[in-house]
């Protein structure tokens, strides 16, 4: 259904992300690349799982980050995945570049973009350990891992994740 201008004004910045043409395009590419993947995928459902877990962590840890910031980081953290499959660019790097474009178009401020992109750039790595100054890096990293149901996965024997990295608990 076509939206009128009034409705467009009212939609949240996060909603604008998921309706952004570049976002839709990259999601579609990821889905195609992962059609035969037996391991965890990087679907929209994964992004929503991460968003919701990250928001729970935000409440539990009293970080007071806004929903708009947390959901943006979660919805975008793996958006560079197709570029990793197709062009060999690490997905946190590709995702950071794609995210800058989308976040700018969706009305995020420069400060917000900087915090979100920093979290996306660091969502895979050991940097999160030194990042107590950036609560978003901390909860995005933790939520990303907690979202994976390694304890119930059929591809456990083939998975290259180390035991330390795997989520072996049903909690969260």
For the bound state, the minimum distance from the C-beta of residue 21 to Fe ion, rounded and expressed in Å, comes to 22
Residue 78 makes contact with Fe ion by CB under 5 A: yes
Nearer to Fe ion (CB atom), residue 78 or residue 118: 78
For the bound state, the minimum distance from the C-beta of residue 55 to Fe ion, rounded and expressed in Å, comes to 15
Tokens of 122: 């660091």
Q: How far apart are CA 120 and CA 54, in angstroms?
A: 13
Nearer to Fe ion (CB atom), residue 118 or residue 144: 144
Residue 49 makes contact with Fe ion by CB under 5 A: no
User: Which residue, 93, 92, 116, is CA-closest to 103?
Assistant: 116
Nearer to Fe ion (CB atom), residue 110 or residue 146: 146
Nearer to Fe ion (CB atom), residue 39 or residue 63: 39
Taking CA atoms, 55 is separated from 7, 28, 58, 83, 144, in Å, by 26, 26, 5, 27, 12
Q: How far apart are CA 79 and CA 64, in angstroms?
A: 25
Q: How many CA atoms lie within 13 A of 29 on its CB side?
A: 16
Tokens of 89: 């660019």
For the bound state, the minimum distance from the C-beta of residue 144 to Fe ion, rounded and expressed in Å, comes to 4
For the bound state, the minimum distance from the C-beta of residue 7 to Fe ion, rounded and expressed in Å, comes to 31
User: For residue 128, what are the contacts with CB-CB under 8 A and spacing of at least 6?
Assistant: 122, 137, 138, 140, 141
Nearer to Fe ion (CB atom), residue 13 or residue 80: 80
For the bound state, the minimum distance from the C-beta of residue 120 to Fe ion, rounded and expressed in Å, comes to 9
Instruction: Identify the residue among 13, 119, 144, 148 touching Fe ion (CB under 5 A).
Output: 144
With contacts defined by CB under 5 A, name the span among 31-39, 54-62, 134-142, 143-151 that binds Fe ion: 143-151
- Structural contact between residues 94 and 121, judged by C-beta atoms closer than 8 angstroms: no
Binding site for Fe ion (CB under 5 A): 78, 144
């Amino acid at each position: 259904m076509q939206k009128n201008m009034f409705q467009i004004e009212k939609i949240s910045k996060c909603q604008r992300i998921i309706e952004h043409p570049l976002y839709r395009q990259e999601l579609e590419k990821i889905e195609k690349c992962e059609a035969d993947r037996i391991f965890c995928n990087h679907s929209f459902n994964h992004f929503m799982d991460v968003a919701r877990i990250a928001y729970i962590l935000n409440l539990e840890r009293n970080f007071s980050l806004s929903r708009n910031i947390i959901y943006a980081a979660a919805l975008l953290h793996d958006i560079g995945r197709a570029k990793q499959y197709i062009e060999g660019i690490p997905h946190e790097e590709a995702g950071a570049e794609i995210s800058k474009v989308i976040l700018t178009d969706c009305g995020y401020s420069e400060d917000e973009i900087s915090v979100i992109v920093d979290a996306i750039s660091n969502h895979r790595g050991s940097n999160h350990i030194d990042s107590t100054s950036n609560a978003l890096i901390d909860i995005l990293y933790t939520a990303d891992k907690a979202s994976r149901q390694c304890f119930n996965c059929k591809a456990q024997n083939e998975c290259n994740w180390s035991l330390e990295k795997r989520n072996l608990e049903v909690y969260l």
